[in-house]
């Protein structure tokens, strides 16, 4: 695996031409990896994976108590890593400026950005709460766009660093009953792939992770626990998805669909015409009336946060992927 990483480094930097002034500007600062939405779910699993390398990592989330618990657990498990936690709504317009101040306060500069934070809403589009829709747009689209635009120029000037944006299989198709979420992930995928093309060979990794279903609380948050897709499509653990995502990012890949089953699903979706695809997705995504059975299958969302963090931390194995 180390060989693949080295080959990835060579490929990513094949046309790199760093600006000496840009490098000098951060020479006294420590590079940091920033993970948004890092207090739980896939964001926390990614933070665990990154912290194993002894990096300086900044965790951003909106819920102070959950974030503090995640930060403490991460620091205890990987004392070689420097862990900084900050409550921040990345969907706010001033989020990049606030993050700049936080990094400067700790003598850091942003080297790697993981745009994981996301909002999920589900149901009939005309019944959705307008405020929730605005929140989804601000987080899933606005935050990814603003943070990427704000930090990418410095990365390109230094010819190092990278951005990982979390998309979804939802990006490949319209999604009745989860229409705004599907549309937002299509935006993330398209934006990331295009930017990756613009930065190709400059020393900067730009990667879109196209996740399949992951066992986090997102399905229940969008009222999708009773949908047929939850019974038909296999779900990955957050830890496995984080492992595959981080490894692919390190290898310099641009668009990654982790897992064989997810890859097959992605190719199938992309090959089907909308006229055939839409009715299928409609059936798969529409909430069913028998939600009790689905709830039993999914289990509790979080049976006590401490137990969840303890379980994830305990499952972490030795070094490597």
Q: Could you give the 3-state DSSP secondary structure of residue 288?
A: coil
87 three-state secondary structure: strand
Q: Indicate the burial class of 143 (C-beta count within 10 angstroms; 0-12, 13-18, 19 or more).
A: buried
Q: What is the DSSP letter of 308?
A: H
Q: Which residues in 263-302 are b (16+ Cβ under 10 Å) and which e?
A: eebbeebeeeeeeebeeebeebbbbeeeeeebeeebeeee
For residues 273 and 290, what is the distance between their CA atoms, to the nearest angstrom? Answer: 31
Whether 181 is a known active-site residue: answer yes
> How far is CA 251 from its chain centroid?
17
Residue 5 and residue 7: Cα distance in Å, rounded? 5
Distances (CA, A) of 302 to 20, 105, 182: 48, 34, 25
Neighbours of 82 (CB within 10 A): 17
Q: How far apart are CA 102 and CA 117, in angstroms?
A: 18
Q: How far apart are CA 61 and CA 40, in angstroms?
A: 9
From the list 78, 109, 181, 309, the catalytic residue is: 181
Contacts for 42 with CB less than 8 Å, ≥ 6 apart: 116, 166, 211, 214, 216, 238, 241, 242
Residue in 105, 90, 26 with CA at minimum distance from that of residue 59: 90
* Catalytic residue ranges: 181
């Amino acid at each position: 695996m180390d060989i693949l990483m080295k080959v990835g480094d060579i490929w990513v930097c094949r046309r790199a031409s760093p600006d000496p002034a840009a490098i000098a500007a951060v020479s006294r600062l420590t590079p940091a990896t920033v993970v948004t939405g890092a207090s739980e779910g896939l964001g926390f699993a990614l933070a665990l994976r990154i912290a194993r390398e002894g990096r300086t990592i900044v965790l951003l989330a909106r819920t102070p108590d959950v974030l503090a618990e995640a930060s403490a657990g991460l620091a205890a498990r990987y004392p070689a890593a420097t862990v900084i936690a900050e409550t921040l709504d990345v969907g706010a317009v001033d989020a990049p400026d606030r993050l700049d101040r936080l990094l400067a306060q700790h003598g850091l500069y942003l080297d790697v950005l993981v745009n994981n934070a996301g909002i999920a809403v589900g149901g009939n589009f005309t019944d959705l709460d307008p405020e929730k829709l605005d929140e989804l747009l601000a987080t899933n689209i606005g935050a990814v766009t603003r943070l990427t635009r704000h930090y990418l120029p410095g990365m390109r000037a230094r010819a190092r660093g990278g951005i990982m944006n979390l998309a979804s299989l939802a990006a490949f198709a319209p999604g009745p009953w989860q229409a705004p979420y599907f549309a937002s992930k299509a935006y993330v995928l398209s934006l990331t792939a295009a930017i990756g093309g613009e930065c190709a060979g400059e020393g900067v990794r730009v990667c879109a992770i196209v996740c399949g279903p992951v066992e986090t609380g997102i399905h229940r948050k969008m009222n999708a626990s009773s949908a047929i897709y939850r019974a038909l499509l296999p779900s990955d653990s957050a830890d496995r998805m984080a492992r595959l995502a981080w490894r692919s990012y390190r290898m310099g890949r641009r668009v990654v669909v982790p897992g064989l089953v997810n890859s097959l699903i992605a190719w199938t979706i992309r090959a089907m015409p909308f006229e055939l695809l839409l009715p299928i997705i409609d059936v798969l995504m529409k909430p069913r009336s028998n939600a009790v059975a689905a709830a039993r299958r999914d289990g509790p969302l979080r049976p006590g946060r401490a137990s969840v963090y303890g379980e994830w931390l305990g499952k972490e194995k030795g070094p490597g992927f």
